[in-house]
Amino acid sequence: MMLKNKNITLLSHILVWFVLFSMPYLLSYGQEQEINRVVIHFWTPLVFSAILFYFNYFVLIDKFLFPKKTIWFVGINIIIISFFIFCKETIEATFFEELTKNRVNTKEGGGPRFKMFIYVQMVSYMAPLLFSIAVKTTKRWVKTEAERKEAANFKLKSELQHLHYQLQPHFFFNSLNNIYAMVDVSPDEAKTAIHSLSKLMRYMLYETNVEQVSLSKEIDFMKKYIELMKLRVSHKTTVNYSFPTTETGIKIAPLLFISLIENAFKHGVSASKDSSINIQMSCTNNKVLFTIVNTNFPKKTDDKSGSGIGLPNIEKRLQLLYPNKHLFTTSVEDNNFVAQLEIETS
């Protein structure tokens, strides 16, 4: 890609200078041309302009202008332009004496006309100088912007990877705690839960290290987790869930919803009181709406169990992955904790 861009830049430079050197013929097509006049009045200044452009582009701008050595930059360019004017006048006087005879007489008379001639010569060399500054500055800005975006993208990926790795042990330890509670009460169910957990961890370790997964895979993962969690709840807890049954074709960032389900089983279940967890997901066009409602059993202030990273993890990932394309709200209504997440996937 870089080689292709360099070739395009080289060809564009060649094309521009070819057009500029062809201008006398393009503008006076069909008219009689005097080659000597074209050489002295057009091609010679153009060669000097090209030298001025590229000398500034490759050397002076990087060495003096960008490091803010402005006085050196201006001084060197004044010397170069003065030298080019002197060379042009010498070439004219030596090789094109007939064409410049009238102008020499004018110079000998001195006065304003000669000063105007020098002024016009100086100004004519300002165009390639300013153009080289503009091109070089634009190129530098594009490079800086590309580097900034690359750095921001690297930071984004690093932060997302950190959040992803943070989620895995959080999920694993919560699941182990739930299985541990089953070991004494129901060893057979505990064995089944360990087998299910191994399948879930295999998915988390080997299939979620990508930017997006199909929504159907994520739904299958959530169903397995819900069934795993249902093994440890008592008959006093009702768990209902509804997911799309047909293939939607939607792709989504992995493991966005699991923390909400974990949170529901952790804070919405009681061993002695009736409780319920209701999970619903629907898809409309490219939007995914996920709602979970569970009985609210607030965590006691002296309860230090759990890391409390679930919901903050979701919010951070949503801000990084779906900026301005998501709506995440939580509330308590009629002693029920309600979490709703809407994501626009395109």
The first and second tokens of residue 338, run together, are: 């309600």
pLDDT of residue 241: 95
Each residue's pLDDT tens digit in the chain (346 positions)?
555 666 677 777 777 777 666 666 555 554 445 666 666 677 788 888 888 888 998 899 999 998 989 999 999 999 998 898 888 888 877 766 655 555 555 445 454 555 666 667 777 888 888 888 988 898 888 888 887 877 666 666 666 565 555 556 667 777 777 777 777 777 777 788 887 878 887 877 777 778 888 999 999 989 988 888 887 778 889 999 999 988 888 999 888 888 898 888 888 888 788 999 999 999 988 899 999 999 988 766 555 444 456 678 788 888 888 889 999 999 999 889 999 999 998 7
pLDDT score, position 158: 60
pTM of the model: 0.54
User: From CA 25, how far away is CA 43, in angstroms rounded?
Assistant: 12
For position 336, what pLDDT does the model report?
92
pLDDT of residue 307: 46
Amino acid at 54: Y
Q: What residue ranges do the domains of the chain occupy?
A: 2-146, 151-344
| Class of the CATH-defined domain 151-344 | alpha beta
Residue 287: its pLDDT value, please? Answer: 92
User: Torsions phi, psi of 252, nearest 5?
Assistant: -150, 155
- In the chain, the N- to C-terminal Cα span, in Å, equals 28
Residue 305 tokens read as 């169990």
Helices (H), the chain: 2-27, 35-38, 44-55, 70-95, 97-109, 112-124, 126-183, 187-206, 215-230, 258-267, 310-321
Distance (Å, whole) CA 293 – CA 314: 17
Of the candidates 167, 325, 326, the one whose C-alpha atom is nearest the C-alpha of residue 255 is: 167
pLDDT of residue 343: 94
**H-run or E-run covering 242:** strand 237-242
